[in-house]
Amino acid sequence: MSEDFTVPEKSGAEILIDTLIEQGVDTVFGYPGGAVLPIYDALFQHKKIRHVLVRHEAGAAHAAEGYARSTGKPGVVLVTSGPGATNAVTGIADAFMDSIPLVVLTGQVATNLIGTDAFQEADTVGITRHCSKHNYLVKDPADLASTVREAFAIATKGRPGPVVIDIPKNVQVATAATDVKRPTSSRFSPAGEADYAEINRAVELLANAKAPILYTGGGIINSGPDASAALRELAELSGAPVTSTLMGLGAYPASGDAWLGMLGMHGTYEANMAMNQCDVMLCLGARFDDRVTGRRDAFSPDSIKIHIDIDRSSINKTIRVDLPIVADVGAAIRQMIEVWKGRKYKAAALDDWWARIKGWRAVDCLSYPGSTQEIMPQYAIERLFAATKDKSPIITTEVGQHQMWAAQHFHFDAPNKWLTSGGLGTMGYGLPAAIGAQMGNPDALVIDIAGEASIQMNIQEMATATQYRLPVKVFILNNEWMGMVRQWQELTYESRFSESYSDSLPDFVALAEAYGWKGIRCSDPAKLDEAIAEMLAYDGPVMFDCRVHKTSNCFPMIPSGAAHTDMILHSDEVSGTMDDEAKALV
């Protein structure tokens, strides 16, 4: 039995920490509990990993998302079994919808207790199976290292997403030989470069188009900064206008000449009209989401559609395309540029197309009624943008009208600066995401543009910011309403405002002070700039209660079930009711 050299054994918890370090993890967002105590003990003894103690596990998952989205690195979450894991589920589902790379470590009851309804047992693997990219239950410490390695590869490669590793407590305590190198499986091989035949065809279509458009999405951001740079070059070469989904903002600079603004339900008139009227649509890392297409059978009826996406299941899911290309979008754009230059294509004469676009732009769809008495919410965003644009801030949002106003009136010139919950639309995302972003970018200005209702969903994370001295700013567009709900009720339910008033609001300034933050309140448009300057000058976290006009609606808007051409531009065009077909759409 006893041999000359014995293989050193380590506990599962130690193997886990070692493998995290090996994977380059420096920050973990977590919350302790019985089923992860061995891991917390191992963390305590290792000083290489910074642990950020959140105040609720949903906060941990969203913070990890904010960290990931702003740094391009995977976010790591550590929570206990049962309620720890179930609390994290919203963040996992959010990351799944928005393709954010996370590795979520959950404690589990000991293997011999699984299935017995043990204390704090939940079927984490079952619960997260369809809202994660992949998940594991590890039953042997000898499998931990290889599982963690595969999890990081799966989370970050191809279309990114959350991966959950459920680790029973006895597996954290039991030991295994540390030199056990299980073969790393090759079962996961995401798409890389595109087929040149397809690229040639795409370039040919784009070069010969009379009315082309580049419809870009979050895939470009996920593909990395190179993809954004390549997109800019392709836009330049082709002379085509560029629009983007909510998730893709910043990939093409909002200050660029070809920029049409965001498309979709609350997108600009020019972006949606150009999508509708184009003859060649090049979709780059976007997925024809229902918020983008509006009524499907009326979506860009006469265009030839090219779709480049790394996830084959995104292609032809809702809209049938003419040229599907499964590839990493950054690599594919580079290939298109190479072919374009190689064949010495010239940008087609697009003067007519741009003239039409100019006409649509002249509608000035983002204009809104001004006021000297009250702060208009759009004005607040404009002033915040004006005061911060030179600081290249990272903006997170909650969900609602303020999110859409931020998307419309705050402009992004670089990727990884705009963090918002697009697919799942999770209220409560913005504050923890800002905390995660600030952890990953200590010197950046990080602002959560919030609504007074959403901010209350993860308000407890204020303490996290205080504890880690994170100078995040929360800029609340306080309209005293769940404004987006109120808007739909006004438009679809004849203004029956069922349960959408934000009653019994806390005093946000007093609340800020209670958490050790600075609180600022402003309701006078004439004093807004000064108040924003005060917020920015403060070296620490600030909660800004910006009292805005209460019943403003977010326009333009394509009502659900309507075509792009049926856009509502201003509130006077609103009908007040809708038929059942439209009501049934989300």
Partner 1 sequence: MHIKQELTERHVLTLTVDNEAGTLARIAGMFTSRGYNIDSLTVADISEDHAISRITIVTRGPPPVIDQIIAQCERLIPVHKVTDLTEAGPHVERELALVKVRGTGDQRVEAMRLADIYRARVIDATVNSFIFEITGGPDKIDTFVALMREVGLVEVGRTGIVGLMRGAEGS
Ligand X SMILES: Cc1ncc(C[n+]2csc(CCOP(=O)(O)OP(=O)(O)O)c2C)c(N)n1
Residue ranges binding ligand X (CB under 6 A): 398-402, 425-427, 451-454, 477, 479, 481-485
Shorter beta-carbon distance to ligand X: residue 219 or 425: 425
Active-site residue, from 22, 119, 391, 467? 119
Between CA 550 and CA 480 the distance in angstroms is: 6
Number of residues in contact with partner 1 under rule CB under 8 A: 22
Active-site residue, from 169, 305, 473, 518? 169
In the Cβ-directed half-sphere of 298, how many Cα atoms lie within 13 Å?
13
Which of these segments, 18-26, 123-131, 345-353, 452-460, binds partner 1 (CB under 8 A)? 123-131
Between CA 505 and CA 451 the distance in angstroms is: 12
**Taking CB under 8 A as the rule, which mask of x and - marks residues 149-168 in contact with partner 1?**
-----x--------------
Tell the smallest beta-carbon distance from residue 555 to ligand X (Å).
14
Tell the smallest beta-carbon distance from residue 86 to partner 1 (Å).
18
Tell the smallest beta-carbon distance from residue 269 to ligand X (Å).
22
Tokens of 576: 């007040």
Structural element, H or E, at residue 28:
strand 27-30
Tell the smallest beta-carbon distance from residue 450 to Mg ion (Å).
9
User: How far, in Å, are 5, 323, 534 from residue 304 at the CA level?
Assistant: 67, 8, 51
Q: Which residues, 533 to 552, sit near partner 1 by CB under 8 A?
A: none
Residue 508 is among the residues annotated as catalytic for this protein: no
- Decide which of ligand X, Mg ion, partner 1, none touches 92; Cβ closer than 5 to 8 Å per partner kind: none
261 near Mg ion, judged by CB under 5 A: no
How far does CA 326 lie from the centroid of its chain? 22
Contacts of 257 (CB under 8 A, 6+ apart): none
Which of these segments, 65-73, 155-163, 263-271, 482-490, binds Mg ion (CB under 5 A)? 482-490
Answer yes or no: are the C-beta atoms of 464 and 53 closer than 8 Å.
yes
377 near Mg ion, judged by CB under 5 A: no
Between CA 411 and CA 413 the distance in angstroms is: 7
User: How far, in Å, are 131, 275, 314, 427 from residue 84 at the CA level?
Assistant: 16, 44, 32, 19
125 near partner 1, judged by CB under 8 A: yes
585 near partner 1, judged by CB under 8 A: no
Shorter beta-carbon distance to ligand X: residue 165 or 455: 455
Tell the smallest beta-carbon distance from residue 312 to partner 1 (Å).
5
- Decide which of ligand X, partner 1, Mg ion, none touches 311; Cβ closer than 5 to 8 Å per partner kind: partner 1
Shorter beta-carbon distance to partner 1: residue 329 or 446: 329
Exposed e or buried b per residue across 106-143, where buried means at least 16 C-beta atoms within 10 angstroms of its C-beta: bbbbbbeebeeeeebbbebbebbeebbbbbbbbeebbb
* Of positions 134, 232, 521, 550, contacts partner 1 by CB under 8 A: 134
312 near partner 1, judged by CB under 8 A: yes
Answer yes or no: are the C-beta atoms of 442 and 392 closer than 8 Å.
no
Which amino acid does the sequence have at 301? P
Residue 120 is among the residues annotated as catalytic for this protein: yes
Residue 489 is among the residues annotated as catalytic for this protein: no
483 near Mg ion, judged by CB under 5 A: yes
Tell the smallest beta-carbon distance from residue 512 to ligand X (Å).
17
Shorter beta-carbon distance to partner 1: residue 316 or 577: 316
The residue written with tokens 């290939």 in the block is 335
Shorter beta-carbon distance to ligand X: residue 235 or 404: 404
Contacts of 293 (CB under 8 A, 6+ apart): 299, 318, 319
- Decide which of ligand X, Mg ion, partner 1, none touches 581; Cβ closer than 5 to 8 Å per partner kind: partner 1
Which amino acid does the sequence have at 533? A
User: How far, in Å, are 120, 133, 539 from residue 130 at the CA level?
Assistant: 21, 8, 42
201 near partner 1, judged by CB under 8 A: no
Between CA 243 and CA 282 the distance in angstroms is: 11
Shorter beta-carbon distance to partner 1: residue 185 or 392: 185
Tell the smallest beta-carbon distance from residue 415 to partner 1 (Å).
25
Between CA 275 and CA 211 the distance in angstroms is: 10
Q: Count CB neighbours of 581 within 10 A.
A: 9
- Decide which of Mg ion, ligand X, partner 1, none touches 398; Cβ closer than 5 to 8 Å per partner kind: ligand X
Answer yes or no: are the C-beta atoms of 136 and 103 closer than 8 Å.
no
* Of positions 126, 342, 359, 369, contacts partner 1 by CB under 8 A: 126
Shorter beta-carbon distance to partner 1: residue 209 or 578: 578
SS (H, E, C) 350-384: CHHHHHHHHHHHCCCCCCCCCCCCCECHHHHHHHH
Between CA 214 and CA 154 the distance in angstroms is: 29
Measuring CA to CA, which residue among 138, 144, 148, 79 is closest to residue 114? 138
Residue 535 is among the residues annotated as catalytic for this protein: no
**Taking CB under 8 A as the rule, which mask of x and - marks residues 444-483 in contact with partner 1?**
----------------------------------------
- Decide which of ligand X, partner 1, Mg ion, none touches 454; Cβ closer than 5 to 8 Å per partner kind: ligand X
Enumerate the H helices of 391-506 as residue ranges.
Answer: 401-409, 430-440, 462-467, 483-492
* Of positions 317, 356, 389, 550, contacts partner 1 by CB under 8 A: 317
Answer yes or no: are the C-beta atoms of 107 and 143 closer than 8 Å.
no
- Decide which of partner 1, Mg ion, ligand X, none touches 125; Cβ closer than 5 to 8 Å per partner kind: partner 1
Left, alpha or beta for 316 (phi > 0: left; psi -120 to 50: alpha)? left
- Decide which of ligand X, partner 1, Mg ion, none touches 570; Cβ closer than 5 to 8 Å per partner kind: none
Between CA 56 and CA 70 the distance in angstroms is: 21
* Of positions 320, 343, 358, 391, contacts partner 1 by CB under 8 A: 320
369 near partner 1, judged by CB under 8 A: no
Residue 44 is among the residues annotated as catalytic for this protein: no
Which of these segments, 187-195, 297-305, 408-416, 448-456, binds Mg ion (CB under 5 A)? 448-456
Give the interface with partner 1 as residue ranges (CB under 8 A): 125-126, 129-130, 133-135, 137, 154, 187-188, 311-313, 315-317, 320, 579-581, 584
- Residue ranges binding Mg ion (CB under 5 A): 451-452, 479, 483
User: What residues are labeled active site?
Assistant: 57, 119-120, 169, 484
